[in-house]
Amino acid sequence: MREKYYDEKRYFEEDEDVIDLADIIFMIIRRWKVVVLLMIPMVILGFFIASTRPSVYQADTTLIVSSGMQSVGLDNNDVALNQKLVVTYSEIAKSRDILRRVISKYDLQETPEILAKKISISVVKDTELIKLAYSCNDSKLAQAVTNELAEEFIKKIGQVMRIRNVSVVEKAMEPIQPLPKKRVMILLASIVLGGMIGMAGAFLIEAFHKKVRKSSDMEKILGVQMLGMIPEIEIANKGEESHES
C-alpha cells in the first residue's frame, strides 16, 4: 500500500512537470501582446543600426619574409625559420612606434590602440607571406594607410633585426566595394534579443499576477490534491422565465 502511494505521488510529480512546461507555453501565448510590445523597440533599434551603419572599406598588402640568401641555397630548415619569423614580424607590425608614425603622417584622430583594432595581420598558411590589411570609412585613406604601414614595418624590421629581409610583393590598391554590412544578421540579432526581453517581461508580469486561473494553481498553493470541482451553473431569473412562458 505504501509503495502504491509513492508510485502515485511520483506520477503526479512527473505530470506536474509536464503541466509546468505547458503552462510556460500557454503563458507566452496568453501574454503575446507584452512580448510583441517589448520586442518592437529592439527591432526598430536594430533596423536603425543596420540602415545607418557606415560603409567600411578594407585595403590589404602582401609582404614576404626571406632569409636574405639566394633561393638556390634554401633548405627546409631555412623555410621553417622564415615561417617562425613571420609570426614574430606580425606582432612587430602592430607596435606602438609604427602606429604613432602613421597617425602623425595622416593626422588620424585616433589613438594607437584604436588604430591597432582596425589593422588585421594574417599569415598565409605554409608560406612566408604576410597579409596586412587596414579598414576605415574612406577608401583612399585605407589604401594610403595600408601602404604606409607596410613601409614603416619594413623600416622597423631593419632597425630591430639589423637585416632587410622583408619586401612588398603586392601594394595595396584602392578598394572599390565596401565590406558587407551584415544587415540581416543585425536584424535577426535584434529580433532574438527583443523576443528574450519580451518573454522575460511576460514572466515578470505572470509572477506578480495573483489571480488563480485553474485547479492546478490552487493545488500548488495549498499543497494538496483536489478531489473534485463544483461546476458553475447559470440560473435564469424568475421574471425572465415567466416572461418567456
Strands (E), the chain: 57-65, 119-123, 129-136, 166-170
Direct distance between the N- and C-terminal alpha carbons of the chain, in angstroms, rounded to an integer: 58
- Label residue 124 by pLDDT band (50, 70, 90): confident
| Strands 57-65, 119-123: pairing kind | unpaired
pLDDT in tens, 34-85: 888 888 999 899 889 888 888 899 999 999 877 554 444 445 555 565 566 6
Mean pLDDT across the chain = 77
Q: Could you give the count of Cα atoms lying within 13 Å of 29 in the half-sphere of its Cβ? A: 6
Domains of the chain: 2-51+183-223 (no CATH), 57-170 (3.30.70.1130)
State how far the alpha carbon of 220 is from the alpha carbons of 18, 224, 229, in Å: 14, 7, 16
DSSP one-letter code for 123: E
Look at the block and give the residue holding cell 578594407.
Answer: 58
* 237 alpha-carbon distance from chain centroid: 64
Q: Could you give the count of Cα atoms lying within 13 Å of 212 in the half-sphere of its Cβ? A: 9
